[in-house]
Amino acid sequence: MCSDNAAYVKHGLYINGIIIAETERKEEKDMDFRPEKKLGFGLMRLPQNDPADAADIDIEQVKKMMDLFMEKGFTYFDTAWMYNGFASEDCAKEVLTSRYDRSSYTLATKLHAGFFNSREDMDNVFARQLEKTGAGYFDYYLLHGIEAAMLPKYEEFDAFGWLLDKKAQGLVKHAGFSFHDTPELLDEILTKHPEMEFVQIQLNYLDWDSQWIQSRKVLEVANKHGKPVIVMEPVKGGTLAKVPEEAEKMFAELDPEMSVPSWAVKFAASQPGVMVVLSGMSSTEQMQDNLGYMEDFRPLTEEEQEVCFRVADVINSQIAVPCTACHYCTEGCPMKICIPEYFSIYNEDMREDLEEKGWTINFTNYEKLNEKFGKASDCIGCGQCEGVCPQHLPIIDYLKDVAAHYEG
């Protein structure tokens, strides 16, 4: 076990030394499919030629990033049916599967409940994913974004059994699911479906004790069931890549050589039971930074984790909208509102002393975004966005705040 057990005891992760130890022995015995290195390339926030078109991916830059990633011995790649305007899986074929031997990497993709209404639909999506990626089979396949509202549909069409059928056919090597809900629901699912081999959860130091995300408690449940964990949103959609100046100084005082986002990725990778941490890298520079500290990964010490928790307190005192910019909300928005972009500039302004400045560059940025997208005030309150938001945010109310700030 990690020598810094006290950190886990204090923050409630180390449930019981015996239980965790038994879980780890079970993993060592039964789970032989974990990548050697803990950093995975998340193909969701890929570099784009046109910032207004998620599907217009900068393929040549992604090829360079892919080559650098593979050269350093990293092998895990994660995509999904709808990522990058439904172009991510095609990109995987162009930059990965058509250029590298199939045995040299592992590829994960997903099926979301929003894209099927029958078993035939599920088969059709899966067949298209095989075609789009050119992978032949998937090393990891996930039922995507399971939460209380979606679970009945997965159960109605026996998606868990369907996935096991794909595994029996040799088209999937390992079956699991990604999860966005309470620890109680995760416990219920894993108890009912012990055949699921792994679980993907949102985990970062900002959401560790969040009322909504509950990263710590969700991780505890996965550990209790002996399921290896894949971490998504370790940098919370970029929130933990650019922290307030006060928080940045706290990191620098402990280790001036570590970048701000590296603290977030290493925090996630340091937790018990974590198999791989996904990073949605959108530039070669981001990848080089990640590879620099993850190539020879060293878990954070107790003192370093304590700094992360103190930084979280600083961020939580300043952040207005805890959006991760996953863009699930924008795909079906009838008014074409670029919700994450508006929340991002709004968060920046909320950290400013607006009484003193009176105006920031984000008022101009907002107007520029209006040229291509709907205004925040164009929201008709249909609720489509709130129904798919993994963070369960009151998006409609937040858009009213954005409209009042920039249009009022």
If you search the block for the tokens 């009176």, which residue do you land on?
A: 358
Q: What is the pLDDT of residue 368?
A: 85
Q: Residue 11 pLDDT more than 70?
A: no
The DSSP output letter for 207 is S
pLDDT digits (tens, 9 = 90+) for 16-53: 333 333 344 344 434 457 788 999 999 998 999 998 88
The average pLDDT across 363-392 equals: 91
373: pLDDT confidence band, cut at 50, 70 and 90? very high
pLDDT digits (tens, 9 = 90+) for 64-119: 999 999 999 999 999 999 999 999 999 999 999 999 999 999 999 999 999 999 99
Q: What is the pLDDT of residue 8?
A: 35
247: pLDDT confidence band, cut at 50, 70 and 90? very high
- The proportion of the chain whose per-residue pLDDT surpasses 70, expressed as a percent, equals 90
What integer best gives the mean pLDDT of the chain? 89
Residue 296 has a CB neighbour count (10 Å cut-off) of 7
Higher pLDDT, 344 or 104: 104
In angstroms, the CA 386 to CA 400 distance is 14
210: pLDDT confidence band, cut at 50, 70 and 90? confident
Q: What is the pLDDT of residue 7?
A: 37
Long-range contacts of 319-322 (CB under 8 A, 24+ apart): 319/239, 319/347, 319/350, 320/346, 320/347, 320/350, 320/401, 321/346, 321/347, 321/393, 321/398, 321/401, 322/206, 322/210, 322/212, 322/236, 322/239, 322/391, 322/393
The average pLDDT across 290-311 equals: 96
The average pLDDT across 167-180 equals: 97
Q: What is the pLDDT of residue 352?
A: 63
The three-point CA angle 271-272-273 to 5° equals 115
Structure tokens belonging to residue 172? 């999937």
Which candidate, 192, 197, 238, 231, places its Cα nearest to that of 215? 231
The average pLDDT across 148-171 equals: 96
Structure tokens belonging to residue 95? 């930059």
Q: What is the pLDDT of residue 223?
A: 98
If you search the block for the tokens 């794909």, which residue do you land on?
A: 166
Q: What is the pLDDT of residue 149?
A: 85
Q: What is the pLDDT of residue 318?
A: 80
Q: What is the DSSP string of 224-252?
A: HTT--EEEE-TTGGGTTTS--HHHHHHHH
Higher pLDDT, 348 or 220: 220
Q: What is the pLDDT of residue 194?
A: 97
Which candidate, 204, 212, 142, 135, places its Cα nearest to that of 177? 142
The average pLDDT across 181-205 equals: 96
